[in-house]
Amino acid sequence: DQQVKQNSPSLSVQEGRISILNCDYTNSMFDYFLWYKKYPAEGPTFLISISSIKDKNEDGRFTVFLNKSAKHLSLHIVPSQPGDSAVYFCAASGGGNQFYFGTGTSLTVIP
Amino acid sequence: NAGVMQNPRHLVRRRGQEARLRCSPMKGHSHVYWYRQLPEEGLKFMVYLQKENIIDESGMPKERFSAEFPKEGPSILRIQQVVRGDSAAYFCASSPTDSPYNEQFFGPGTRLTVL
C-alpha cells in the first residue's frame, strides 16, 4: 500500500531551466512533508520541508508547493544545475514517528 | 560534528547466516529509525527506537528481524537466518527529539547481499 507516490521515475532537464518533481499522497492525515535528495551509495539528505498549514516554502533555488485538496506536492528547482542530478524522494508524516517515502524520481540535469 | 554512521557499508552473507548492522546516531541525538530500501522501491520504515526502548516496530517483519539501542553503544539491526529477499539497502536515521516535525538525518546505509 503505497501512500506516497512519485509517478515519474526519471526526469531530464537542461541546465538553467526549471525542474519540477511531483508527488501525490493518499492519506489525508499527513501534515508534514519533506523532500530528500540522494546520491548513489549515499544516504538521503534533507532538502526542504513544508507543514500542512502552509502552501509554499522556499529555500534558495528550491521551492515546495503543497495542494492539500489535491493531495499533491511539488518541488521546483530553478535554475537547475548539473550538481542537482540525483534521486529525489518525497516523504510524508502524519504525526507519528515514521516517514512514508515515495519511490523516487531520478533527475538528470544536462549541461 | 560527525553525521550518522553505519557499518559495515557492504555486507555479504550466505543464506541461513546472521547479519548485524550497526548505526551510531549523530551526537546529541537519542532517537533512531531504521528503513529498508528494496531494489526499485522507496525507503520503508522498519522500527523506531530510543535508548533502551523500542517505540514503534510496526514495519519490522515478525520473524528473524530484531533491533536494539542499548544505553551504551550503537543501535543494532539483527537479521537471523537471512534469505535472498533480505538483500537490500538498510538505512539508519536519527533525530534530536521525538517531534514528528523534525527532519531525520540519514546515514550512508548498509548494502546487504545474500548469496
CA dist., res. A83 & res. B67, Å (int): 36
Helix and strand tally (H, E) in chain A?
A: 0, 11
Tally A–B CB contacts below 8 A: 64
Torsions phi, psi for A50 (to 5 deg)? -155, 140
The CA distances from residue B108 to A53, A108, B62, B105, in Å, are 32, 21, 26, 10
Which residues of A, range 23-62, sit inside 8 Å of B by Cβ?
32, 34, 36, 41-46, 49, 51
- Tens digit of pLDDT for each residue in A86-99? 999 999 998 777 88
Question: Among B42, B56, B58, whose Cβ lies nearest the Cβ of A102?
Answer: B42
SS3 content of chain A, % helix, strand, coil (to 5): 5, 55, 45
Residue type at B26 in one-letter notation: M
CB B56 within 8 A of CB B47: yes
B26-38 pLDDT per residue, tens: 998 889 999 999 8
**pLDDT (tens digit per residue) in A36-95:** 999 988 899 999 999 999 999 999 999 999 999 999 999 999 999 999 999 999 999 987
Which residues in A lie closer than 8 A to residue B103 (C-beta atoms)? 34, 46, 49
pLDDT at B100: 64
3 state SS of B105: strand
Give the Cα separation of B87 and B37 in Å (integer): 9
Q: Is the pLDDT of residue B40 over 70?
A: yes
Concatenating the DSSP letter of every residue in B67-81 gives EE--SSS-EEEEE-S
Closest CA to A34 of B27, B105, B88, B37: B105
